[in-house]
A and B are shown apart, each in its own frame.
Chain A
């Protein structure tokens, strides 16, 4: 089902460091996961996705890791930049791709 956060946890990192953002998902039957980036006042922007038959997928400066055993997803951002500052959400697919539920989100602050 849907998990909604009451407040956003914050991760502060120094520019140039690597960032790791974590997400626990709720439905063991979910088989498709997406990470989104949301800047203030805007809609979420697709970053990277992963299907349940994989445990790792890499994009440009980003890596997503999936651990189905503990229902955990992580997003790693290499060489974090000020432009990466935003709120990051994971989303899990349910019901044959007809529904996507969002995690509670993490606010990433990148200090110059």
Chain B
């Protein structure tokens, strides 16, 4: 149980393109979803937290107009990297959890490469 699917697994696109990443909880209702960014050989950096049906809460230093997050249902959250540039290239990982004192479960990440 507690499977989180993230799609696509890899994206390569030109600078200036907007890229959408989907995160789905397959067998549970994800009241809260999280988006992380991870650079090589580094830890996961929390970008934002989203609760179903409400606006995402962004961490300090994360541009909300750059990284658009939508959590429209209990099984789907999307992250859109708008007008992506090479410095946005990274490994983006989502996670999801149900309400209360429960662990979050992760997708397998999206490798984003901006040329």
Contacts and interface: CB of A to CB of B under 8 A. Distances in A.
A23 B6 CA distance: 28
B109 A5 contact: no
B46 A101 contact: yes
A5 B42 contact: yes
Give chain A's interface secondary structure class: loop
Residue of A7, A36, A44 most packed against chain B (CB within 10 A) = A44
Main secondary structure of the interface of B (DSSP, over half): strand
A102 B43 contact: yes
Q: Kindly state the interface size class of chain B when it binds its partner.
A: 20 to 34
Interface residues of A, number: 28
B101 A4 contact: no
A93 B102 CA distance: 10
Interface of B: 2, 4, 6, 32, 34, 36, 41-46, 49, 51, 57, 59, 93, 95, 97, 100-109, 111
